[in-house]
A and B are shown apart, each in its own frame.
Chain A
């Protein structure tokens, strides 16, 4: 059975190798030794120690060279240098080249044990970090495939059968029943869209949106968003009041994702508003920026919540009854607006309501290759 740890000691002094072996060997720890740099590097080809001690002053390959070669091949290997002459400069040089720590000779068994323990602990953390990072990467890479298969397939089957049923029953359904089929379809589609937006935040690089920026008319964005949120508002008898201070400049961006942002803000405003209240949308030019503000007179946000409002899964504490959501909307919105070179902010008073304000630059920050295209639409 492989011991829990392997430590490689590279030193030309046999007494050091022996004493290290004596002090560090245990049932859980095996000590490998090498009498010079070349031998040490050779041992590294077959063994994968958790920790390496290298003497700096050796005939042949110097400790620093050995250190450099180890780090070049195994960048995350934890290496501790042994400094024969207790000069700080050589130790500093070694640390600069990636040594984790240094051990001045002569050392007591206690010092050796302590520094070895620290080295092994550091290695454990490094390995753990690598494993976590790998796991995260894999999750990220596979997420799209997994989510799409596991969530979208059943929805696809549902949608397909709705299509088929409404086609089959075309002659038999009343107008009202047809409309209900239509609503079912729309709701399913919304769900698919929701899955897409989760996918976006978790696996897709939103900054890629930039590559397909086009002139966008904000009134279109607002009306599309209002249209989407309207059914939810109607259900709570909330009135959405858009005020567009025309003429509004055209901005450079991605219409779909800007609509998504407005749907998020309007949806939130409706969600956190009291029934029979009003939600105001105000769009106006202000200097080189366009302001889009969504105000509600709902529950408001605590100061504490405001700090992590735009983070992933950052839902507020203050939830009206029956409100659900994963808390991704604002995080996605934040990223989308950032990609547009704009900013998003919030002002809120608990119990009185909140106002979310988006500021978008009229001229894109980066030079636009086709300035003419902006004036069209």
Chain B
């Protein structure tokens, strides 16, 4: 296998992050973590990640959403596949009234609910990385 894929998790609950990170590390991913939007954004600028795992409900909603919006507006960052992690679906529907439950912030994203079973997590991550690579190959 080639270089390990670089993943970034942005979530304000360190314990939750630990539970996600362990699963990903075991699956041979290189995982960085950020526990607030500010660190998260500077990490995204400092390094090229292959995938972002983002808790959109961070800080009661607004902060995670803010990152998601920023990503969507940034021409480079919107290429980054995002696995959106959320507390409950109803809240997403509440925050994005009239939209599908899955908000699609960026070109390639997927939604999972907390907590996420290891198998599902790895499947989603893999699928997102694959989709993103196919897209990149096509655009070249």
Chain A residues with CB under 8 Å of chain B are 144-145, 148-149, 152-154, 156-165, 167-168
Contact = CB atoms under 8 A, between A and B. Distances in A.
Given A145-B60, A153-B13, A167-B118, A160 B19 contact: yes
Contacts of B20: 160, 164
A239 B94 CA distance: 44
Given A149-B87, A160-B114, 17 more contacts: A145-B61, A148-B91, A152-B88, A154-B15, A156-B87, A156-B115, A157-B19, A158-B15, A160-B15, A160-B20, A160-B116, A161-B22, A163-B116, A164-B18, A164-B22, A164-B23, A167-B26
Contact of A145 (B16, B19, B91, B117): B91
Listed from nearest, the 4 A-B pairs whose CB atoms lie closest are A160-B19, A159-B115, A164-B22, A157-B15
Nearest to B122: A167
Given A163-B23, A164-B23, A148 B88 contact: yes
Contacts of A149: 57, 60, 87
A144 B18 CA distance: 26
Contacts of A160: 15-16, 19-20, 114-116
| Chain A interface, >50% SS class | helix
Nearest to A149: B60
A161 B18 contact: yes
B26 A168 contact: yes
Contacts of B60: 145, 149
B87 A153 contact: yes
B74 interface: no
B118 A163 contact: yes
22 contacts: A145-B61, A145-B94, A148-B88, A149-B57, A152-B87, A156-B87, A156-B115, A157-B13, A159-B114, A159-B115, A160-B19, A160-B115, A161-B16, A163-B19, A163-B115, A163-B117, A164-B18, A164-B118, A165-B22, A167-B22, A167-B23, A167-B118
B22 A156 contact: no
B3 interface: no
Nearest to B59: A149
Contacts of A158: 15
A148 B16 CA distance: 15
B25 to A, nearest CB: 9
Contacts of B123: none
B94 to A, nearest CB: 8
Interface string B20-44: 1011001000000000000000000
Contacts of A153: 13, 16, 87, 114
A211 to B, nearest CB: 15
Contacts of A152: 87-88, 114
Contacts of B117: 163
Interface in B77-118: 87-88, 90-91, 94, 114-118
A152 B20 CA distance: 16
Contacts of A145: 60-61, 91, 94
Contacts of A163: 19, 23, 115-118
Nearest to A161: B19
Contact of A164 (B13, B19, B87, B91): B19
Nearest to B88: A148
A157 B87 CA distance: 11
A193 B22 CA distance: 26
Contacts of B23: 163-164, 167
B118 A157 contact: no
A310 B22 CA distance: 46
A168 B18 CA distance: 12
A186 to B, nearest CB: 13
Nearest to A167: B118
B15 A168 contact: no
Contacts of B87: 148-149, 152-153, 156
Nearest to B95: A145
A139 to B, nearest CB: 16
Contacts of A159: 19, 114-115
B91 to A, nearest CB: 7
A120 B54 CA distance: 54
A122 to B, nearest CB: 38
Contacts of A162: 19
A153 B13 CA distance: 8
Contacts of B61: 145
Nearest to B121: A163
A163 B16 CA distance: 11
Contacts of A148: 87-88, 91
Contact of A157 (B16, B57, B90): B16
